[in-house]
A and B are shown apart, each in its own frame.
Chain A
Amino acid sequence: MSTPSNSAPGSPSGDVPSGTSPTANVILEMRDITKEFPGVKALSNVSMVVRRGEVHAICGENGAGKSTLMKVLSGVYPAGTYDGEIHFEGQLSEFHNIRDSEHAGIVIIHQELALIPEMSIAENIFLGNETASGGVIDWMATRVKARELLARVGLEEEPDTKIREIGVGKQQLVEIAKALSKDVKLLILDEPTAALNEGDSQHLLDLISGLRSKGVTCIMISHKLNEIEQIADSITIIRDGKSIETLRVKEDGVDENRIIRGMVGRDLESRFPDHTPQLGEVFFEVKNWTVRHPSVPDRLVAKHSDFFVRRGEIVGFAGLMGAGRTELMRSLFGRSYGTYVEGTIVKDGREVKLRTVSDAIEAGLAYVTEDRKTLGLNLLDDIKRTTVSARLSRITRGFVVDEREEYNYAESYRKSLRTKAPNVDEGVAKLSGGNQQKVVLAKWLFTEPDLLILDEPTRGIDVGAKFEIYGIIQRMASEGKGVILVSSELPELIGLSDRIYTISEGAVTGVLDREQADQESLMRLMTRRTHGGSHATDAPRASA
């Protein structure tokens, strides 16, 4: 703090009377925020202004930089690791960690809830902020205060109830109660309704408008444009790490189409290899595919989905984060995600039951995961062992691995995919992302699949390697394999796919041919609401 002598003139400290300048209506201003990670510029010169007492939405495609921006604001990325200024309540603020920003009154609620399942509601609300004297917790006061806070968020549960006993919608409310307990001035919600069903979502939105009327400012990141249209006062659109525009919902008469245009308004460059599709007959068909969430039984992650794939066809799957694309694909791949409810898979005219991953591999399916390092690779292994690992039986006699054949195959895939590595004895952990992805592709091509499911095959890969991977995908199609391409990058989907399905909230909401597909039409289908909500028919919990 400064000495009293120089604090008087022009000091921006708290004694500036309110209402004297336009900045009094502004609670937060972020100026020219630039955040770089090695090799990637996640944010460049992002600016936004949030007015006091409004709900301010941030919109943008996956990877546009929304979450990074919020992490800068909340001190997850400490001051000094980014360029630019944050002015909160008229003061230049430098947050070095989350505690700093919370001290100032900024509370962020992440998409992944930070609650401890085995502790009670009251304990969670006051965790790290306990009502205690001399280290001894006053449980009476804690319960009384918790009950007050629960009443404010409209949650009728006993403070002693354990978190794991309440549904995810109520957990979200507990998070908000926790934020309120900290005298929050600016509440940041990252995809608050992504995991909720419609009833719970609506309740949460009502709560947010209730908080607004009591003077709490909210920043909300959401992919659900209908919700944004319903609740937001202002919308800042971020695209490719830049702030594009801020829209005033009422004044500018903003609707979903306007938001979509802002989100996708960029040129589609021609950065795909030439490819002439040779489509064969339909050989893979999924009918009425329905799957439950593995731990939340009243949530369906795939809802009565129907789709098909032709030989030689690249079929795209578009959907926003949390729409259920990965969940759908993994549930098809030997039920490796969720609980199967109903639905059939028909391959080559016959119904197949793929109960385990080995069944799926046996039936000619291959699934390249979006999460290369945690689900796709054993980082302790080398290239050759990885290449053969999904179908060892191809190179074994009895139970013995033929190391010569292993070497041969690994080497031939290394050459044909042009993996950059000194030799196939190199550990996969040492390779770059693009080359690791090629090794994963080799591993699945080695299983000789008929249907190759690629989940975000170019995530975290540089441009040159992307182009090569596009070439590999097209080559697979030319060889008569079916390819399912799941991607969050719409230009990639439009550039590669022969047909694109859109998925929203676990259901197929549409299908577009290559000629019809453009970013706006896809975005409209991707954000389409599926009626009937995400309840299973026997949903046990009514919304609070």
Chain B
Amino acid sequence: MDKVKKIFGGDTRQLGMIFALVALIIFFQIWTAGLTLTPDNVINIFQQNSYILVLAIGMVLVIIAGHIDLSVGSVAAFVGISVAIAMRDWGLSWWMGILFGLALGALVGAWQGLWTAYVGIPAFIVTLSGMLLFRGANQYVGKSNSVPVSDDFQVIGGGYLPEVGPDTGYNNLTVLIGLLLAAGVVYGSVRSRRALVKLGADVEEAWVMWTRIALICAAIIGATLLFGSGRPGTSFPIAGMILALLVLLYGFISNRTVIGRHIYAVGGNRHAAELSGVKSKKVNFLVMMNMSILAALAGMIFVARSTASGPADGVGWELDAIAAVFIGGAAVTGGVGTVVGSIVGGLVMAVLNNGLQLKGIGADATQMIKGLVLLVAVAFDVYNKSQGRASIIGLLTRNFRGGRPGGDDAPPPPSAAVETTPTSETIRQST
């Protein structure tokens, strides 16, 4: 187990999720007698879930910052119908339609960000309002009708990488991208290791790195061959490409950029962040706005895949996205979570859904199983914290006794949790 941890990094939570995902795939592969890992099915999983995964990327940032967004399904639906109508009535081309949709998403996001960040209304309320507001707006704009979209727009949801080059039996572009990705992993690992050595830092042993590289590359190439060997005309879906680019982009933003750091800082301890010069209102605004832009994108991908925009698009998406984020290891209290984790969490739900569907399990049982999976995943997290590592919540509340700085002249006892009780005790006395 120690070796396994070394290879994948010490984060047991995320490690657990990745193993759960792999185990789930193997389980369904056996149970469905090989139907799970067929090219068509894997392509299908990606196409059916790409819009939820796009939402999960935005949602994890919202949740890290300590908020929630309930409006994403309605925003997606509103943008979807607006884009469909704009293209039909104003004659916008497909790319102008996309730009229009993203701009509309930004506008919606600015609206919600304004109320959340600058007026100070909890995001739960703002986005609950937005959920109603934009659902209604979808039906108002579309007059509760379905509006079809053109073929070239449909590519972003239902399209595949094109066939180019000689006939190899595989989709050449898919294979090429897979190989490039694998090469990138090797190059990146070696380079960062070299940099660390130069700094004189402790580095992992070489076999650890090479084993990890080998495993990741095997997974990439396996997936590449799977995607590339589908029916002629199918290959890695465009929606999957969009998703992959977003994962790379947002993974980078959350880890390596100033705004990314600030999101974690605000979610982890807003007061400390503000006293370090972080403008928490701006951070909250941007996070909420970004969520709506991604919701707009998700809405357009969905409309493109289903060839038309309708009044019931996006119902319940927010819950799928939120579930993916929490299964992926984010904390309700904020400050914790990763983009990759949320994608893994979303894939766990997707594979579960798909496998149960393949076996012909009804929607009723499927929902119950998904509900339990969410509970078990988070329970696992809570259990982890109660074992060994101190609970973060406990660490924080310990210091809230007294309230005002200097409220207590006792020396700070490590077991001071008791001291939070006097006020509540006074209130509750003699019932």
Report chain A residues within 8 Å CB of B122.
none
Q: Given known contacts A38-B413, A112-B403, A357-B274, is B258 in contact with A401 (CB within 8 Å)?
A: yes
CB–CB B277/A322 < 8 A: no
Q: Which of B278-293 contact A (CB under 8 A)?
A: 279
CB–CB B336/A380 < 8 A: yes
Report which of B271, B404, B409, B422 forms a contact with A108, defined as CB distance below 8 A: B422
The 10 closest A-B pairs by CB, nearest first: A37-B413, A378-B268, A358-B277, A114-B423, A98-B425, A390-B276, A68-B410, A380-B268, A378-B269, A460-B412
Write 27 A-B pairs (CB below 8 A) sorted by A numbering. Answer: A37-B411, A40-B413, A66-B409, A68-B410, A71-B419, A98-B421, A110-B426, A112-B403, A116-B427, A336-B275, A356-B277, A358-B277, A367-B275, A369-B275, A370-B406, A373-B399, A376-B272, A380-B335, A380-B392, A389-B265, A393-B258, A399-B258, A399-B259, A403-B256, A407-B196, A423-B202, A460-B412
How would residues 124 to 159 of chain A score, 1 for a CB under 8 Å from any chain B CB and 0 otherwise? Answer: 000111000000000000000000000000000000
How would residues 162 to 203 of chain B score, 1 for a CB under 8 Å from any chain A CB and 0 otherwise? Answer: 000000000000000000000000000000000110010110
Q: Given known contacts A370-B405, A379-B268, A381-B268, is B410 in contact with A401 (CB within 8 Å)?
A: no
CB–CB A99/B425 < 8 A: yes
Is there a chain B Cβ closer than 8 Å to A459's Cβ?
yes
Report chain A residues within 8 Å CB of B264.
378, 380-381
CB–CB B427/A371 < 8 A: no
Report chain A residues within 8 Å CB of B405.
326, 370-371
CB–CB A38/B415 < 8 A: yes
CB distance from B92 to the nearest CB of A (A): 32
Q: Assuming A99-B429, A378-B265, A379-B269, what are 13 further A-B pairs, CB within 8 angstroms? A: A76-B421, A76-B422, A111-B407, A112-B403, A114-B423, A114-B427, A371-B399, A371-B405, A375-B272, A381-B265, A389-B265, A396-B257, A423-B201
Q: Which residue of B lies closest to A423 (CB)?
A: B202
CB–CB B395/A62 < 8 A: no
- The residue in A37, A378, A429 that gathers the most chain B C-beta atoms within 10 A of its C-beta is A378
CB–CB B422/A110 < 8 A: yes
Report which of B271, B277, B398, B428 forms a contact with A128, defined as CB distance below 8 A: B428
Is there a chain B Cβ closer than 8 Å to A11's Cβ?
no
CB–CB B402/A112 < 8 A: yes
Report chain B residues within 8 Å CB of A374.
269, 271-272, 396, 399-400
Is there a chain B Cβ closer than 8 Å to A65's Cβ?
yes
- The residue in A367, A375, A377 that gathers the most chain B C-beta atoms within 10 A of its C-beta is A375
CB distance from B23 to the nearest CB of A (A): 28
Is there a chain B Cβ closer than 8 Å to A102's Cβ?
yes
CB–CB A460/B411 < 8 A: yes
CB–CB B256/A401 < 8 A: yes
Report chain A residues within 8 Å CB of B390.
429
Report chain B residues within 8 Å CB of A76.
418-419, 421-422, 425
Is there a chain B Cβ closer than 8 Å to A1's Cβ?
no
CB–CB B275/A129 < 8 A: no
How far is B429's CA from A94's CA once the two chains are assembled, in angstroms? 17
Q: Which of B244-277 contact A (CB under 8 A)?
A: 256-259, 261, 264-265, 268-269, 271-277
Is there a chain A Cβ closer than 8 Å to B431's Cβ?
yes
Report which of A102, A182, A375, A443 forms a contact with B271, defined as CB distance below 8 A: A375
Is there a chain B Cβ closer than 8 Å to A10's Cβ?
no
Chain B residues engaging chain A, CB cutoff 8 angstroms: 195-196, 199, 201-202, 256-259, 261, 264-265, 268-269, 271-277, 279, 335-336, 390, 392, 395-396, 398-400, 402-416, 418-419, 421-423, 425-431
Is there a chain B Cβ closer than 8 Å to A541's Cβ?
no
Report which of B256, B419, B429 forms a contact with A400, defined as CB distance below 8 A: B256
CB–CB B258/A390 < 8 A: no
Report chain B residues within 8 Å CB of A326.
405-406
CB–CB B422/A71 < 8 A: yes
CB–CB A77/B257 < 8 A: no
Is there a chain B Cβ closer than 8 Å to A339's Cβ?
no
CB distance from B68 to the nearest CB of A (A): 18
How would residues 473 to 497 of chain A score, 1 for a CB under 8 Å from any chain B CB and 0 otherwise? Answer: 0000000000000000000000000
Report chain B residues within 8 Å CB of A370.
405-406
CB–CB B410/A98 < 8 A: no
CB–CB B396/A396 < 8 A: no
CB–CB A377/B406 < 8 A: no
CB–CB B413/A42 < 8 A: yes
CB–CB A71/B269 < 8 A: no
CB distance from A419 to the nearest CB of B (A): 16
How far is B10's CA from A423's CA once the two chains are assembled, in angstroms? 15
Report chain B residues within 8 Å CB of A373.
395-396, 398-399
CB–CB B335/A378 < 8 A: yes
CB–CB A114/B422 < 8 A: yes
CB–CB B257/A400 < 8 A: yes
Q: Which residue of B lies closest to A407 (CB)?
A: B199
CB–CB B276/A443 < 8 A: yes
Report chain A residues within 8 Å CB of B395.
373, 379, 429
Q: Which residue of B lies closest to A429 (CB)?
A: B395
Q: Which of A333-352 contact B (CB under 8 A)?
A: 333-334, 336
How far is B257's CA from A393's CA once the two chains are assembled, in angstroms? 10
Report chain B residues within 8 Å CB of A442.
none
Report which of B261, B336, B412 forms a contact with A392, defined as CB distance below 8 A: B261
Q: Which residue of B lies closest to A367 (CB)?
A: B275
Report chain A residues within 8 Å CB of B268.
378-381
Report chain A residues within 8 Å CB of B392.
379-380, 429
Report chain A residues within 8 Å CB of B423.
110, 112, 114
How far is B412's CA from A42's CA once the two chains are assembled, in angstroms? 9
How far is B267's CA from A379's CA once the two chains are assembled, in angstroms? 11
CB–CB B409/A67 < 8 A: yes
Report chain B residues within 8 Å CB of A385.
261
CB distance from A122 to the nearest CB of B (A): 15
Is there a chain B Cβ closer than 8 Å to A64's Cβ?
yes
Is there a chain B Cβ closer than 8 Å to A63's Cβ?
yes
Report chain B residues within 8 Å CB of A129.
429-430
CB–CB A67/B408 < 8 A: yes
CB distance from A190 to the nearest CB of B (A): 9
Report chain B residues within 8 Å CB of A358.
277, 279
How far is B272's CA from A370's CA once the two chains are assembled, in angstroms? 12
Q: Which residue of A lies closest to B406 (CB)?
A: A321
How far is B333's CA from A522's CA once the two chains are assembled, in angstroms? 44
Report chain A residues within 8 Å CB of B428.
99, 128
- The residue in B196, B406, B407, B422 that gathers the most chain A C-beta atoms within 10 A of its C-beta is B406
CB–CB A404/B430 < 8 A: no
Q: Which of A247-299 contact B (CB under 8 A)?
A: none
CB distance from A116 to the nearest CB of B (A): 7
